Amino acid sequence: MFDPRPLFHLDFWFGSNPTPLMSSSTQFFLIFFTLLLVLGVIVRIFWKKRFPDRDGREIIAKLSLLLKTMGVLGLIWLFFAVEQITFFQGRSWFLVWIAGLLVWSVFVWKYVYRILPKERRRREDDLERRKYLPGKKR
């Protein structure tokens, strides 16, 4: 049975010699990080065709890069944890991974919902303004 009490002790997260991962935990993390990596590749390949506009492709590229990078970094951490390399197997690195995932996700969210609408409005205004400006003679 799962006991969540150790999760609330600092020694569990920042101990200098953490206990090795159990095989079920290793399998779970392996599947999870590999799934992130594969999902990032799938998003990049298949969804790119579904978004013909530039904004959609940029969103897909940012999301795909997030998934692929976090998948690879997670697999690297898992390798160190399985091989029991003392400094790099620490659970504190997993906390750093989670923090990185959350911060990067916030930046992607901010891009999609705050920056991108402003850019779209600016591009539309530029197109409207260019309509009245003289162009090059051919």
Q: Which residues of the chain have pLDDT under 70?
A: 1-4, 6-10, 12-14, 16, 19-20, 137-138
Per residue in 11-32, pLDDT (tens digit) is 766 676 776 677 788 888 899 9
3 state SS for the chain: CCCCHHHHCHHHHHCCCCCCCCHHHHHHHHHHHHHHHHHHHHHHHHHHHHCCCHHHHHHHHHHHHHHHHHHHHHHHHHHHHHCCCCCCCCHHHHHHHHHHHHHHHHHHHHHHHHHHHHHHHHHHHHHHHHCCCCCCCC
Query: Is pTM beyond 0.95 here?
Result: no
Look at residue 39 in the predicted model and tell me its pLDDT.
Answer: 95
